Amino acid sequence: MLTKNALIIEVENGATFPEYFLDMFQFKEVNKMYLRDVTSGFKTDKYDFVLYSCDCVNERQLRWILPFANKNPKSQFIILTEQISIHAYKQVTEMGNVITLQVPLGDQVIRGMINQLVQDRSLIATQRFPRFITDEPVRMVVMETGLLIPSRMKNYSASGAFIEYKGMHLRVGHTLKVNLPKQEHPPTKKSLQLDGKVVWVRSGEAHSGASTGIGVQFTSLDAA
């Protein structure tokens, strides 16, 4: 059993934190509360962990998560989600006490986290961010030719992404400007600008059953 306390924040009639995660961690104490009861001044100092589960993490979700985590730096926040937008991912990685994991989690990932905690090592410092599934519109500009290509990003990590592509114009080594508009309501003109290069190209003919597209390695990640 870990000598750690945890607070679970739930959305009423929403996603609940997976029992298998709690069973494996075996926290010393676990308390629950609804998100609607979390006030701006609520303190989580007595909790080592704040756990939150949702279907998707986007800019709207982060409007309460990040300020809340920033006001409670002594707690480590763990967010389990099925999808996270790349805009939200960029903001999460800049926080010192928040990590986001994609469900379902494998036992190996959870055991690795538990081992870090048993050894009193920082989970934030040692946790490697995984590759996330997403489905976001992108606009790519090929710097060598000026060609503009609208497409969709299907997954990404801190170092790169897989983007759908069925054309014949992209080659390994091409440099790209990738623009991702923010998925906000109401719509805004804000976007995320990615610089990257093509590191592999996968065609449907060569890989039966696999999605056709390109692997992009990020060289910079900036808000526009």
* Containing structural domain, residue 50: 2-129
Amino acid at the residue 127? Q
Q: What is the pLDDT of residue 199?
A: 96
From 129, 149, 169, the end of a domain falls on 129
Residues 81 and 113 in one domain: yes
Q: What is the pLDDT of residue 177?
A: 94
Which residue carries 């990615």 as its tokens? Answer: 194
**Cα dihedral: 129, 133, 135, 141 (round 10):** 50
Integer Cα distance of 136 and 191 in angstroms: 12
Q: For the domain that residue 144 is a member of, what is the CATH number?
A: 2.40.10.220
Residues 107 and 14 in one domain: yes
Q: What is the pLDDT of residue 214?
A: 95
- 178 C-beta neighbours (distance < 10 Å), count: 22
CA distances from 16 to 13, 40, 58, 109, 221 (A): 9, 22, 18, 20, 32
Q: For the domain that residue 22 is a member of, what is the CATH number?
A: 3.40.50.2300
Amino acid at the residue 107? D
Give yes or no for a contact between 176 and 149, defined as CB atoms under 8 angstroms apart.
no
Residues 87 and 172 in one domain: no
Q: What is the pLDDT of residue 8?
A: 92
- 174 C-beta neighbours (distance < 10 Å), count: 20
Per-10-residue mean pLDDT, the chain, length 224: 81 77 84 87 89 83 87 88 82 82 72 69 55 86 95 87 90 94 64 91 65 90 58
Pairing state of beta strands 160-164 and 148-156?
antiparallel
State the total domains in the chain.
2
Residues 187 and 100 in one domain: no
Task: Provide the sign of the torsion angle of the four alpha carbons 80, 77, 29, 44, taken in this order.
Answer: negative
Integer Cα distance of 137 and 181 in angstroms: 7
Task: Supply 176's token pair.
Answer: 């790209």
Cα 118 from chain centre:
25
Integer Cα distance of 197 and 192 in angstroms: 16
Integer Cα distance of 142 and 216 in angstroms: 12
From 114, 129, 144, the end of a domain falls on 129
Q: How far apart are the first and last CA of the chain?
A: 46
Q: What is the pLDDT of residue 2?
A: 61
Residues 7 and 118 in one domain: yes
Integer Cα distance of 5 and 133 in angstroms: 30
